[in-house]
Chains A and B, each alone.
Chain A
Amino acid sequence: MLISRRSVLRTGAVAAGSLVLPRFAIGQTARPSITIAVQKITNSNTLDVLREQSNVGERVFFGSIWESLIGRNLRGQLEAKPLLATEWTRIDDQTVELKLREGVKFHNGDELTADDVVFTFSRERMFGDTQPKNRSTIKVLGQIPTPRAGKELPPEVPAVARRAWPDLARVEAVDEYTVRFYNATPDVTLEGRLLRYGSDIMSRRGWEESASYLDWARKPVTTGPYKVVHFTPDTELLLESHDDYWGGLPPLKQIRFVEVPEVASRVNGLLSGEYQFACDIPPDLIGEIESNAAFEVQGGTIPNHRLTVFDKHHAQLADPRIRRAMTHAVDRQAIVDSLWAGRTVVPAGLQWPYYADMFIADWTVPEFNPELAMSLVKEAGYKGDPIPYRLLNNYYTNQVATAQVLVEMWKSVGLNVQIESKENWAQIMERGETRAVRDWSNSAPFPDPVSSIVNQHGPNGQQQQIGEWENAEMNQLCEFLETSVDRAARRKAFARMLEICEREDPAYSVLHQNATFTAKPKSIQWKAAPAFAMDFGPGNFAI
C-alpha cells in the first residue's frame, strides 16, 4: 500500500472529525449520550451520599443516581414530593409511616422493599456506634451483621448521619411496602429529614455483595434513572440509563461527567462540541458565552446563602453596635448587580421560601443605611483599630472581589477592616486574636430552620463550636425549635432567632443567595433546577 502525504492527512482529518463530533449527534436516531464538563466530580472520591456532602456531589447524585423516600421537586421550587414513598402519615409526634412505591427496581434488578429502607438506616450502613441523644438503641428488624473487614464505615459517615438524624431511635418494616420511623423525641421535621441529602435509599444486596466499603461507594446500587458504569476519581464518572426506572425510560443513553478544572478549558470544550454542558461558569463569562447565538447559560439561585460571619469575642467586635454597623454598611444589591450580573438575589435573611409555613415573609436583611452605620460606629466609640478579615482565594465564586467591595463599604462608614489572605479553612477558623470576620455559606438541607440556623449557628453548630459566637437566648430557642411540635410557637421562635442573629447580636450577615451557572447549546432543551442537582430524568431532555 502506497502511503502518501495526502492520504495521511485525509485519514487524520477523518479521525479528528469523528472524535470532535458531538457525542449526542452520533446517535440521533437512538437516545443520545452526553458529556458534561465539571470543575470537580466529587471531593471525597466516592459516590456515597453520606461521605460526599458537597455541592459538587449533589450535582451528580440527585436527578441521576440517588433517590430518597420523599423528594425535592427539582422542576419546581424544591417543594416536597413523593419519590420512593407514595404517601406518608404521622402516627404521632415521634413516628412517621411511609408507603413505598411498588415496582421500583434497583440497578441490580431487585425490587425495592421495606428491608432495603430499614437497612439504609441501619448501624451497619449509617450510624455505626453513635447513639441518639436519648441513648436508646437503633433497632433493625433481623440481625445486624458485624461489618466485614473492609466494610467499616469511614468515621465521618456515622457522624454526618447522626447529625442528620440526631434522635432517630429505629426504623421498622411494617410489611413489605410499609416502613415506620420512630424518633426518640417529638420532632416536626421528620418528613423534612427524609428528603435531605443523605437520607437516600440503597440496595441491601448491593452493599452485601460489594467486596469493600470503597468498592460499594464507587458504584452504589440505587434506584435513580442512571446507574454507575465506572467512576475514575478526579477524572470521569460514566452513567448509563437504568432502563427499568420506575419513572419511565430515561432520555439519555449515557451521561459522562468529566473533570475539567480550568474554566477556559470547559468553555473551549463546549464551543468545540466535545461537551454538551459546561458547569461552574463564573458570572463574568456569561455574557461572553451568550454572545455566541448557539449557546446559552442556564441556572440561577440555589438553596445556599453567602454570609459574612463575625467573631464577637474579637476586641473590636465585642460591642454589637460595630457588628450592626457592618451589616448596615453593605449595599447588597450593588454586589448582586455588579458581580453577579443581577442573576442572583438578596434573600430575606437566613431562610428560604421552601420553608413554607416556617418562612418569615416580612423579614429582610438589614437595610443599606450608611448614616445609621456611621452613627452606630460613633456610639460604640470605635477608634479605628484594625478588624482582621480572613479571606480565602475564591473558594466561593467572586469571593475576593466581594471582599474588596465589602472592605471599601465598611471603610466608608469609618470601619478599618483589613484583609488577611489565608490558604485554607483550618487557617480561617483557627482561634486567635486575629479572628474577627470571615466568609461562609449556609445551606438548608431540608425545609425547616432547624436545618440551617440551628444546625449552623446553634449550640452544636460550627460557629459556636469553634468559639466565635454564642447567645443564651438563641440556644434556648434552638432547643425549643428542635423539640416543639407547636408550629405557631416554632414560627414565632424562629422569627426571634433571626432577630437575635441578624440584628440584635449579629452572628453573621447574609450577603446574597448563591447561584450556579451551566452553559449549553440552545439546541438542547433542558431546564436547570434551582439547586446544584442536574435533573436528567424523563421529560427534561430533548434535542
Chain B
Amino acid sequence: MIRYIASRLLRAALTIALVVTFAFIVLRLSGDPATIILGPEAPPEAIEAFRHNWGLDRPVLVQYFDYFRAILRGDLGISMRDGRSAIELVGERIPATLALTIPALFLQLAIGIPAGVYAALHQGTAFDRTVMVSAVFGFAIPSFVLALALVLVFSVKLGWLPSGGRDSWMHAILPILTLGLGGAAALARFTRSAMLEVLGRPFIRTASAKGLPWAAVVRGHALPNAAIPTVTLVGFLVGSLIAGAVVVESVFSWPGVGRLLVVAVSNRDLAVVQCLLLLVAASMVTSNLIVDFLYGVLDPRLRQGARAGA
C-alpha cells in the first residue's frame, strides 16, 4: 500500500513538474513580457530597464533553472505586473472563484444525478426525452452563450438580477446558474447512461427475481454500481473548482482566479501563471487520488484485487 501511495505521489509530482516546465517554455518563447506589459509605444529605454530588472535579458535556460530552484524552495515568485507575490495575488482570488464553483457543483449534483437516474428508470417516457433533449442543449451550448442569454432575460428584459460584478450575493446567481446548468446537463447524461447499463445487467434481474422490491433493487444494487463512472466525472468537476470558471468569470466580470489567469497569460506574467497552474494541477491530481480511493470504496472487486495483489 505504501508503495502504491508513493508511486501515485511521484506521478503527481512529475505531472506538476511537467506542467510548470511546459508553461515556462510556452510563455517564454511566445513573447517578451516587457513589450507586452509596457505596450507598443513604450520607449526602448523603459523596455530595456524592465527586462534587466526582471532578469529577462539572461539566457532562457538560466531563467528556467533559477525559477525551478525557487519553486523547490517554495518561492513562486513576484508578479511582474503587480509587484506582489504570486501566491498572495492568487490567494486573494480563490474565495471569489470558490463562491461560484462550489454552489455550482452542488447545483450540478442536485439536478444532474436525480434527473439522470429518474430518466433511466423511466426510459422512453416523455420525461426521459425531455431530460435528454435539455441535457443535449445544456451540454452543447457554450457557457458564454448561455451566460449572455441569461443576462438578456434576467438583467436586461426583466431587470431582476445584476448582469455582472461581485457586489452582493445576487451577483452570484447568474454565474452559478450558468456553471450549474451546463455541468448538470453533462452529469444527467452520464448518470442516465451508467444507470441504463447497470439496469440491463443480470444481477439486477436476479435481485428482482429474488423478490426484492424495485426501490431496494435500485438503491442497493443499481445505484452503487452506476456510481463508478459518475464519480469519475464528479472527480473531474471537483478538480475544476479552481479554474473551471474562466469564461463565466470574464462574461460576468467576476474577479476570480479565472480572470486572473486570462490577464496573467495575456501579460506573460509568468510567476502568476505558474502559481495558478501549480494550483490547478495540484487540485486535479488530488481529486484524482480521491476518486481512485472512492473506486475502492464503491467496488468491492477493487478492494479484493488490491488485497490479492498485496
Binding site for B on A (CB under 8 A): 13, 15-17, 19-20, 37, 43-45, 53-54, 154-156, 158-160, 162-163, 213-214, 232-235, 258-262, 264-265, 268-269, 271-274, 395, 423-429, 440-443, 455-456, 460, 462, 465-466
Contact = CB atoms under 8 A, between A and B. Distances in A.
B263 interface: yes
Contacts of B34: 426
A265 B251 contact: yes
B163 A272 contact: yes
Interface of B: 30-32, 34-50, 52-53, 81-84, 144, 148, 151-152, 155-156, 159-168, 170, 250-253, 255, 259-260, 262-263, 267-268
Contact of A43 (B39, B144, B165, B262): B39
A272 B41 contact: no
A20 B162 contact: yes
22 contacts: A16-B160, A53-B38, A159-B45, A160-B46, A163-B46, A214-B83, A233-B82, A258-B164, A262-B250, A264-B148, A264-B251, A265-B163, A272-B155, A272-B159, A274-B165, A424-B32, A424-B36, A425-B31, A425-B35, A425-B40, A460-B44, A462-B43
B171 to A, nearest CB: 8
Nearest to B51: A155
A233 B31 CA distance: 23
Contact of A53 (B39, B50, B163, B259): B39
Contacts of A16: 159-161, 170
A258 B253 contact: yes
B29 to A, nearest CB: 10
Contacts of B82: 45, 233
Q: Which 6 residue pairs spanning A and B have beta carbons closest together?
A: A155-B49, A426-B32, A424-B31, A159-B46, A159-B45, A156-B46
A155 B162 contact: no
B43 to A, nearest CB: 4
A170 to B, nearest CB: 21
A45 B259 contact: no
B40 to A, nearest CB: 5
Contacts of A423: 30-31
A271 B37 CA distance: 33
Contacts of A15: 170
Contacts of B36: 424-426
Given A155-B52, A261-B250, A274-B165, A160 B31 contact: no
B30 A268 contact: no
A154 B53 contact: yes
A139 to B, nearest CB: 22
A424 B267 CA distance: 9
Contacts of A269: 155, 163-164
Contacts of A427: 30-31
A265 B164 contact: yes
A264 B155 CA distance: 13
Contacts of B48: 159
A19 B253 contact: no
Task: Determine which residue in B36, B38, B82, B151 has the highest number of CB atoms from chain A within 10 A of its CB, and name it.
Answer: B38
Contacts of B262: 261
A274 B164 contact: yes
Contacts of B53: 154-155
Given A156-B38, A156-B49, A460-B44, A19 B163 contact: no
A19 B170 contact: yes
A258 B44 CA distance: 31
A262 B252 CA distance: 8
Contacts of A154: 50, 53, 83
Contacts of B30: 423-424, 427
A265 B1 CA distance: 52
Nearest to B160: A16
A163 B35 contact: no
B269 to A, nearest CB: 10
A265 B253 contact: yes
Contacts of A259: 253
Contacts of B151: 265, 268, 272
Given A54-B39, A264-B148, 18 more contacts: A16-B159, A20-B161, A43-B81, A158-B49, A162-B45, A260-B253, A262-B253, A265-B252, A268-B152, A268-B164, A272-B151, A423-B31, A424-B35, A425-B35, A426-B32, A427-B31, A429-B35, A462-B43
A44 B47 CA distance: 14
A273 B144 CA distance: 21
Contacts of A428: 40
Contacts of A54: 39
Task: Determine which residue in A271, A424, A441 has the highest number of CB atoms from chain B within 10 A of its CB, and name it.
Answer: A424
A274 B168 CA distance: 13
B50 A156 contact: yes
Given A53-B39, A426-B36, A159 B161 contact: no
Contacts of B268: 424
Nearest to B169: A15
A443 B163 CA distance: 35
B259 A274 contact: no
Contact of A159 (B43, B84, B170, B252): B43
Contacts of A20: 155, 159-162
A189 B53 CA distance: 31
A261 B49 contact: no
Contacts of B259: 234, 261
Contacts of B49: 155-156, 158-159
Contacts of B81: 43-45
Nearest to B159: A20
